[in-house]
Amino acid sequence: MSTDDPSPVNPNPRHIAIIMDGNGRWAQKRFMPRAVGHQAGVKTVRKIVESCANNNIEVLTLFAFSSENWRRPESEVSLLMALFMATLQREIDKLHRNNIRLRFIGDRSAFPEKLQTKMAEGEAQTEHNTALTLVIAANYGGHWDMCQAFQHIAAKITAGELTEQDITEELINQHLSTANLPEPDLFIRTGGEERVSNFMLWQLAYAEMYFTPTLWPDFDQNSLAEAITSFKGRQRRFGHTGEQVLSQSVTP
């Protein structure tokens, strides 16, 4: 994949966050069950992880299962859980060999115990790896993330460890599930819908948004390169004027 552009405005994004959408429609278009689309989606995950690692992206966050996806038919939810487990069993060693650090965000307490154990093992095994950080958002919701952060902060206030004056943006950042990760620079949603679907609501404050009609199983290295090229050509102003951005180095 080439992400070279003759006159890029931005360097590569440090953190790319993706809503992997369109698996079901990809299968339905082929008169196949939605499960086939989810299986095809896992293959895309492999390709995109590899591609991000090769392009020295620091963090890739993938939305795998939302806190709202429990509303799907029981059969689809079970299939997704089984696929999640099988994929972790198959891929964790490979991620580790490639120096990739795995991290999960979301309320994992709702998952089967075996799956929770596997998730914890995967994180522990890859904890000290220094290439790409792969964040899997599973049973994740932006509202959940903020609630859990506020609960932890409130508990510290009750315990006398903090006062309400200590509540700053930075303190909230430190209590979100994404603590210690850079904010997403580039948000990608495949599948044609142009909404955020309760993904990283706080963290996306200044992400560049990129929507593509490409269904997730059809998204590939070239599609990712196109998204990155689009990102690199945009002027990020963070509230400044365009002229200020051109005349000085502007950061959030």
**Residues involved in catalysis:** 21, 69
CA distances from 219 to 22, 105, 226 (A): 10, 23, 11
Q: By C-beta, is 63 or 104 nearer to ligand IPE?
A: 63
Q: By the 8 A CB rule, do 176 and 203 touch?
A: yes
The least CB distance from residue 72 to ligand IPE, in Å, is 8
Residue nearest to ligand IPE as judged by C-beta position: 24
Judged by the rule CB under 5 A, the positions of this chain that interact with Mg ion are 21
The least CB distance from residue 238 to Mg ion, in Å, is 31
Q: Which does 177 bind (CB under 5 to 8 A by kind): ligand IPE, Mg ion, none?
A: none
Query: Which of 61, 33, 26, 74 lies closest to 216, judged by CA?
Result: 26
Q: By C-beta, is 24 or 122 nearer to Mg ion?
A: 24
By CB under 6 A, residue 217 contacts ligand IPE: no
Q: Give the bridge partners for 186, in sequence order.
A: 16, 208
Q: Give the bridge partners for 138, in sequence order.
A: 65
By CB under 6 A, residue 25 contacts ligand IPE: yes
Mask for 2-21, x = binds ligand IPE (CB under 6 A): -----------------xxx
The least CB distance from residue 56 to ligand IPE, in Å, is 25
Between CA 95 and CA 53 the distance in angstroms is 10
Size of the site for ligand IPE (CB under 6 A): 17
The least CB distance from residue 93 to ligand IPE, in Å, is 24
CA distances from 14 to 31, 244, 249 (A): 38, 23, 17
Burial-class residue 98 by CB neighbours within 10 Å (0-12, 13-18, 19+): middle
Q: Which does 69 bind (CB under 5 to 8 A by kind): ligand IPE, Mg ion, none?
A: ligand IPE
Using the rule CB under 6 A, give the single segment among 44-52, 53-61, 190-198, 219-227 that binds ligand IPE: 190-198
The least CB distance from residue 77 to ligand IPE, in Å, is 9
Residue nearest to Mg ion as judged by C-beta position: 21
**E strand or H helix at 7, and its extent?**
none
Residues 35-64 that bind ligand IPE (CB under 6 A): 63-64
By CB under 6 A, residue 69 contacts ligand IPE: yes
Q: Write b or e for each residue in 17-48: b if 16 or more Cβ atoms lie within 10 A of its Cβ, otherwise e.
A: bbbbbbbbbbbeeeeeebbbbbbbbbebbeeb
Near ligand IPE by CB under 6 A: residue from 106, 122, 142, 191: 191
Tell me the two tokens of residue 5. Answer: 């552009």
**First-to-final CA distance of the chain:** 29
Query: Which of 58, 55, 183 lies closest to 129, judged by CA?
Result: 58
The site for ligand IPE (CB under 6 A) is made up of 19-25, 63-66, 69, 80, 191, 193, 195, 197
